[in-house]
A and B are shown apart, each in its own frame.
Chain A
């Protein structure tokens, strides 16, 4: 499809505001003005509508396709939450209104939403307090590691290292490094964090261990109590990567079992849309000993029920966001939690786990399942067997696209060869899973018979396999380069 710039016709316009009575050149010195007006497209409103409607049709999405992308929790995004976030009483609210003396009364509804959301997240996760400010999961990780650093600094601990298991998301070591820590990698054993491997690298300079539980293989970390004990002995903290929280709501609360810091991905567990890659929201919860370091501002409630923003936290790490986080996303998560309640959230986790285990068992004999035991909300399969006949995980993923499914996550986690990671989520029906698995079985069978057929896949998508090497070499990053 042509770019919208290629469709531009000089003199055409869409949402043109009425003409001003003075031009910029009459209001500002010439030396401060740009020499040419920006070359944005000149198109009609219908051109714009057709163009973007056309682009939207080139996408796979949860609304249109089964999307079992592991570690991303591509569950259905309920439509009523869009209505809630679009209410003008929220969208028209300037964030600085809440910081004006006397104007606090004009933002009480928004402050209450934030206060309530924090309380609900505390109860779901067993944490003492939450900040809603981080604007994505990785941003939550950075905030969490900064909180860990502030804790140790305040206690006078000299800590220089953070431990990440080899199964961790890449963001964990990257966030630790961005907060100034040296990253120590430890190898998993039987798909789990190995307490002995931890012991071997644990010393007084370790600030924290970052864990995902269930981990990225979809397995519950059974050695957790021993791990917590070892960390406490050297005053190291335990960080919970909330990417996989959708497995355990109502079954375990991370605060109860010894985690000190947790980031959530509201766009995964709490049903807010992924938006094609964002905006997300990554609230961070802490145990009581880390509460003094939380970012400012914090929402508080006075005895008379009045909400206000408190900036008076001398030990706070300061500001991590311009204001209060991605408020529009928080609204959707809040509405989702209210809709589901305790029972609905627990049920979401139960059926996410049921769906994943059903797929895991039914796919035996189709793909290799390296850790074939009860999984949580996702599991990892391997295309090692078909790779022998030249059919790799990538080929299977591309063939799935031809059948109208989004592919699972492939080649992650890094510790399983020819890895395919499936996360069906609770919102998919048995019929959808069955149809998907039938198609997957026939793809694998076809791959065994005629591997080349899969190398050609996909055939029916808007474009076929793309030359990524050429993209990196040629670097055509805009219409002008």
Chain B
């Protein structure tokens, strides 16, 4: 019997101890009319057969393509030690560190994760992570609503539409006003954003680099927000953050990120993790688990879950959030990843990716009718306007083993000819050259 160790003798001894005759007697509380109307599942398979079936299914996904897809989710190299260490059973078969004396490994790792992401984003405090970058943004908005007691949120349309659609669903039953400020050719409309941030605004929400790859300095916008006692919320990309002006330097109050690009495989959409950081005055508004350092009765340094009075198991309906877990194993992977790369390694990853993106932009814009969407600085991703539909281009080149990027029209009506192209250190210059030749061949 897979994963059930009981021998027939065990069963009979245990039933005797309980004082019933059969295991079924233990289910007597469920009357006949409440029993399953059907339970038509397949018969169990051997381990070998399950593995063969899943191996066959995995082979039906084409992953041998050369892909320039990004849109916030990037295929960076993950050092092999990340897998080796995070797959230790002591980490992945433990649970939330409710008993700190028996969970110092998990707790210290989360404390180190909090330290690493605070240093990367240049912020004071972090939580132990939430589900993903989108839920982190939602929680950041709710922090701002609680902290300011205001209900208007100003959102840049150049913020990832993948997240904006989540924010729309999450807030649909809450009495909040979401004001989306249209982008201009893939750039944040700074004047319009400022005009929307007034004394009724809880927060202005932006992204750097934005969905179109453009890099922006939001210092002025956040200064303007502060003058109106509104908060500045920014979503960033951890790899590029190693070189870009930080949320802290821009004066952001809350900075979030999806941690996929630091240590998580793409894995068809998850699991990833949402990184959440804030300034110290906001720490009691941050949701979820937070680890703090303290001492034991003998004076030894140790770590515990702290500030729990914010949380659902104590505050129930009045909690800061309903969240009761974090993406602990993903946070551990991100921490190990950052530790293996170190400051120089993360910067090199960003620079190698940017170099390739520059070569790609140069080669693609050399083709007739292909031009950059705008002239703003970019990191490892940029948007180009094609003379034809980007959907068609993606369709045709993908069939030949090259996914040239993401068709922006999928989310932005009227931008059907715009293609978003991402590079990482895993692309070779030769692959970029082939992409340009293939594109040139069909234009």
Contacts and interface: CB of A to CB of B under 8 A. Distances in A.
Interface in A61-94: 61-65, 67, 69, 72, 74-78, 80, 82-94
Given A319-B166, A471-B304, A351 B81 contact: no
Contacts of B46: 339
B339 A170 contact: no
B292 interface: yes
A90 B81 contact: no
A278 B294 contact: no
Interface in A428-481: 428-430, 458, 461-468, 470-472, 474-481
A56 B377 CA distance: 43
A322 B102 contact: no
Contacts of B44: 338-344
Contact of A344 (B1, B173, B342, B358): B1
B30 A252 contact: yes
A97 B163 CA distance: 18
Contact of A176 (B97, B317, B341, B425): B317
Interface in B307-339: 307-309, 311-319, 321-330, 332, 335-336, 338-339
Contacts of A337: 41
Contacts of B355: 20-22, 27
B343 A338 contact: no
B157 interface: no
Given A28-B215, A318-B165, A481-B125, A343 B43 contact: yes
Nearest to B338: A40
Nearest to B14: A358
Given A48-B85, A353-B26, A462-B101, A477 B295 contact: no
Interface string A392-428: 0000011001000011010010000000000000111
A371 to B, nearest CB: 12
A45 interface: yes
Nearest to A107: B61
A109 B99 CA distance: 41
Interface string A10-48: 001111111111111001110111110111111101001
A19 B425 CA distance: 11
Contact of B124 (A56, A93, A357, A481): A481
A480 B116 CA distance: 10
A367 interface: no
Nearest to A353: B26
B105 A99 contact: no
Contacts of A464: 101, 296-298, 300
Interface stretch (B197-205, B226-234, B402-410): B402-410
A89 B327 contact: no
A201 to B, nearest CB: 15
A279 B319 contact: no
A128 interface: no
Given A49-B85, A136-B325, A279-B329, A177 B317 contact: yes
Contacts of A279: 131, 270-271, 273, 327-330
Given A171-B322, A274-B93, A406-B102, A342 B43 contact: yes
Interface in B286-303: 289-298, 300-303
Contact of B50 (A39, A75, A338, A351): A338
A45 B40 contact: no
Nearest to B88: A56
Interface string A162-190: 00000001110111111111010000000
A4 B112 contact: yes
A471 B398 contact: no
Interface stretch (A232-240, A284-292, A327-335, A380-388): A327-335
Given A89-B58, A467-B296, A56 B91 contact: yes
A89 B323 contact: no
Interface string A276-307: 11111000000000000001000000000000
Contact of A16 (B67, B100, B165, B348): B348
B377 A96 contact: no
A313 interface: no
B119 A39 contact: yes
A277 B328 contact: yes
A471 B347 contact: no
Nearest to B399: A102
A308 B143 CA distance: 37
A59 interface: yes
A24 B6 CA distance: 62
A197 interface: no
A76 B2 CA distance: 11
A93 B268 CA distance: 5
Contact of B268 (A110, A374, A481): A110
B79, B134, B294, B319 — most chain A CB neighbours (10 Å): B294
B245 A278 contact: no
B45 interface: yes
Nearest to B48: A80
A14 B342 contact: yes
B195 interface: no
A277 B115 contact: no
Given A40-B338, A52-B85, A171-B324, A110 B43 contact: no
B249 A35 contact: yes
Contacts of B270: 95, 135, 279, 321-329
Interface in A140-172: 141-142, 146, 149, 169-171
A100 B403 contact: yes
A418 B309 CA distance: 20
Interface stretch (B17-25, B179-187, B362-370): B17-25
Contacts of A120: 41
B351 interface: yes
A345 interface: yes
Given A33-B243, A329-B271, A479-B115, A91 B395 contact: no
Contact of A100 (B175, B342, B398): B398
Nearest to B332: A276
A37 B323 contact: no
A80 B105 CA distance: 25
A60 B99 contact: yes
A209 interface: no
B199 to A, nearest CB: 25
Given A350-B23, A430-B14, A465-B297, A277 B102 contact: no
B10, B54, B119 — most chain A CB neighbours (10 Å): B54
A112 B330 CA distance: 25
Contacts of B318: 177
A355 B239 CA distance: 48
A339 B300 contact: no
A389 interface: no
Listed from nearest, the 10 A-B pairs whose CB atoms lie closest are A323-B269, A89-B58, A341-B44, A63-B89, A109-B60, A275-B329, A279-B271, A318-B169, A95-B269, A174-B322
Given A53-B85, A135-B131, 17 more contacts: A17-B341, A31-B217, A39-B343, A101-B391, A141-B322, A276-B328, A279-B270, A322-B73, A324-B269, A339-B44, A339-B46, A342-B39, A374-B29, A463-B101, A463-B300, A466-B294, A467-B296
13 contacts: A28-B354, A69-B98, A80-B50, A106-B65, A109-B57, A276-B106, A327-B270, A338-B44, A358-B18, A409-B98, A467-B297, A476-B292, A476-B293
